[in-house]
């Protein structure tokens, strides 16, 4: 199976622009360490931020004290990062539409979280945040190293330590 996956990844990676979206969406770029296109980076950054903000607002209402403190920081930081990204795109005249809604998978994850209360809620929120931040660290690391747009690449690289700190904090909560 591995040779097939590698062959498919190579075939997709050598296909024009559409393939970049397909390979990013399927995780092939992560496996190969390939930077996402600027459009994919912006889309994934925005939708991830929307999810983390929505889930964290819910955690501020339902979480235990440690979870609430973490969630308040996530809302604050991710709202700031969303504003920075929007401003950067405007300054650089990058014409990538910033999504205003989460992905269907993120909506489903949030819906499952909304059904929970107490320790079950906190446990699920913690594990969701670990996964979301691990994905964000991977995305920002790949774009920060090899992204096609210099100013956005610089921003991604400078934002990476914040996201890594979020991941470390989420892992600590998840213990």
pLDDT at 33: 72
- As assigned by CATH, the class of the 35-173 domain is mainly alpha
pLDDT at 148: 94
The predicted-structure confidence for 68-125, as pLDDT tens digits, reads as follows 999 999 999 999 999 999 999 999 998 999 999 999 999 999 999 999 999 999 999 9
Residue 65 CA, distance from chain mean position: 25
Eight-state DSSP code of residue 36: P
Domain locations along the chain: 1-33, 35-173
Q: How many Cα neighbours within 13 Å face the side chain of 148?
A: 12
Round the average pLDDT of the chain to a whole number and report it: 87
153 vs 128: CA distance, rounded Å: 26
Eight-state DSSP code of residue 15: S
pLDDT at 153: 97
pLDDT over 70 percentage in the chain: 82
pLDDT at 16: 37
pTM: 0.81
Rounded to an integer, the average pLDDT of 145-160 is 96
pLDDT at 70: 97
Rounded to an integer, the average pLDDT of 6-31 is 48
């Amino acid at each position: 199976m591995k040779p097939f996956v590698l062959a498919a990844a190579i075939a997709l990676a050598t296909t024009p622009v559409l393939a970049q979206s397909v390979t990013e969406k399927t995780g092939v770029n992560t496996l190969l360490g390939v930077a996402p296109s600027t459009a994919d980076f912006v889309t994934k950054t925005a939708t991830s931020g929307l999810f983390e903000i929505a889930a964290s607002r819910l955690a501020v209402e339902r979480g235990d004290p440690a979870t609430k403190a973490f969630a308040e920081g996530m809302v604050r930081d991710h709202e700031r990062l969303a504003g920075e990204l929007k401003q950067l795109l405007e300054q650089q005249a990058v014409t990538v539409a910033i999504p205003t809604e989460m992905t269907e998978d993120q909506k489903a994850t949030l819906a499952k979280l909304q059904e929970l209360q107490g320790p079950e809620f906190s446990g699920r929120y913690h594990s969701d945040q670990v996964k979301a931040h691990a994905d964000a660290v991977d995305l920002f690391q790949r774009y920060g190293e090899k992204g096609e747009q210099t100013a956005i690449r610089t921003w991604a690289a400078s934002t990476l330590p914040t996201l890594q700190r979020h991941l470390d904090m989420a892992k600590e909560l998840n213990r």
